[in-house]
Amino acid sequence: MWHQILLSPRGESKILRLRWRAVRVVVSLVCLIATPAWADGHSPAFAFSTAILGKGDASFETELMWRSGTVMFGPRVSYGISQNFQISVSSPFHINHGEHPTGRFTAMMPGNPEFEALLGWRFYHASTGIGTRNEATLYAGGSALTQHTPRVDGPALERQPGMYVAFAAGRVARSYDIWAGAGYQRYGEWNRNNPVNSHQSNTLLGSFAAGWRPSFLNKDYPKPDLRFFWETTGEHVGLAWRDRTPGFGGGGGHGHLVPPTPLPSQNGIIYLRNSGGKAVFSGPSFLCTYRSVAVQGGVLFAVMDQPNGRQPQYREELRVVVGVSYYFLGRRK
């Protein structure tokens, strides 16, 4: 009897699975609490912003991200090569897999479990007055997927390389911030000779954010610094696809009874369910910095959510990010 209770239909021990899930949650929480992290000193939680580190400065960031069944943990390290060049390396990973259009989670954090290196070039920078400046940054980098994300309609897609280019511009002041930006992430293939090729979703992402520091919070250094943002992001996530190979069609993988979906196909490929769509999200966020630590969080609500028409069971309602950061400032001689 107990044997039947404890074993899933796939023969895995439920106790072991629960334990493994608990371990992952605990490890993530410990990392989030114990690991100082970076959350962009002046930036919104989800939207684009410019590079900020001075020459020789460094930062370490962790983010816990949640959206409709997917939970990710994203550590990132950044270093200021000069006042205008910054390099960032991030490696988010899944704590809990979900089925969703796998666009980027935030402007600066991939939505897939992957290793990403970005170079930021602050090509325009003008300090226009006391506490105010205008600046713009170009980002470019590459990535490599690190985890297989399981899919209900077939085997996981292959791990692939990717590239990301983005642009961000904004104006910061003591009482307000304005940020706008856009980026494009594209995935490629490691091996074109693979008999079963597949392709992750490409993503086009844009954002606008307005920040506000109320006058009663406009304290002088070294008091804690708290500001609020309202962020809006828009995205177009492309369709993932795989070769039309027997046994790897639009449905029916993993022994699940997912009916084959009528999908358009061309050149011998099949577009996959739950792999793309258009969406606009909007919501509040906050950023609090004190000493060398920053705490950041935000919630985005779906304003418009148009999956690609092949996701009847899926609607993404909100996204949540919480991050803690630590800065290593002024260490150079």
Partner 1 sequence: MIFSWNNTLRCLALVGLLLGVKPLHAEYLKIELRVYGLDCELCARGVAASVQRLPGVKSVDVSLKKGLLEIVLVRGNTFKMSDLRKRIRENGFRAMEANVTALGNFNGSSRFEVVGSGESYNVARPDTKGPGPVELTFDIK
Q: Give yes or no for residue 127 binding partner 1 (CB under 8 A).
A: yes
- The alpha carbon of residue 76 and the mean position of all alpha carbons in its chain are separated, in whole angstroms, by 11
**Residue choice 2, 130, 195, 257 for contact with partner 1 (CB under 8 A):** 130
Q: Which is nearer to partner 1, 35 or 218 (CB)?
A: 218
* SS3 category, 17: helix
Size of interface with partner 1, in residues (CB under 8 A): 41
Q: Least Å distance between CB 111 and partner 1?
A: 27
Q: Give yes or no for residue 212 binding partner 1 (CB under 8 A).
A: no
- DSSP-derived letter for residue 151 is B
**Residue choice 8, 13, 96, 128 for contact with partner 1 (CB under 8 A):** 128
Q: Which is nearer to partner 1, 187 or 326 (CB)?
A: 326
Instruction: Measure Cα distances from 149 to 95, 174, 191, 230, 275 in Å.
Output: 11, 43, 19, 31, 12
Report which of 241, 318, 237 is spatially closest to residue 277, judged by C-alpha positions.
237
What does 118-147 look like in DSSP terms, one character per residue?
A: EEEEEEEEEEEETTEEEEEEEEEEEEEE-S
Report which of 100, 106, 114 is spatially closest to residue 70, judged by C-alpha positions.
100
Query: What is the distance in angstroms between the CA of the first residue and the CA of the last residue of the chain?
Result: 69
Stretch that binds partner 1, among 17-25, 52-60, 65-73, 139-147 (CB under 8 A): 52-60
- Residues of this chain, 272-331, that bind partner 1 according to CB under 8 A: 289-292, 294, 327, 329-331
**Residue choice 37, 47, 52, 322 for contact with partner 1 (CB under 8 A):** 52
Q: Which is nearer to partner 1, 206 or 211 (CB)?
A: 211
- DSSP-derived letter for residue 157 is P
**Residue choice 18, 33, 124, 131 for contact with partner 1 (CB under 8 A):** 131
Stretch that binds partner 1, among 6-14, 121-129, 274-282, 298-306 (CB under 8 A): 121-129
Cβ atoms of 331 and 79 within 8 Å: the answer is no
**Residue choice 223, 254, 256, 315 for contact with partner 1 (CB under 8 A):** 223
User: Tokens at residue 301, please?
Assistant: 């609500």
Q: Give yes or no for residue 210 binding partner 1 (CB under 8 A).
A: no
- Provide CB contacts within 8 A for 121, sequence distance 6+: 51, 84, 85, 137, 138, 139, 140
* Residue 134: CA count within 13 A, CB half-sphere: 3
Q: How far apart are CA 306 and CA 59, in angstroms?
A: 36
**Residue choice 57, 99, 153, 231 for contact with partner 1 (CB under 8 A):** 57
**Residue choice 4, 5, 221, 268 for contact with partner 1 (CB under 8 A):** 221
- Residues of this chain, 58-97, that bind partner 1 according to CB under 8 A: 82-84
- Return residues touching partner 1 (CB under 8 A): 41-42, 52, 54-57, 82-84, 122, 125, 127-133, 172-174, 218, 220-225, 227, 289-292, 294, 327, 329-333
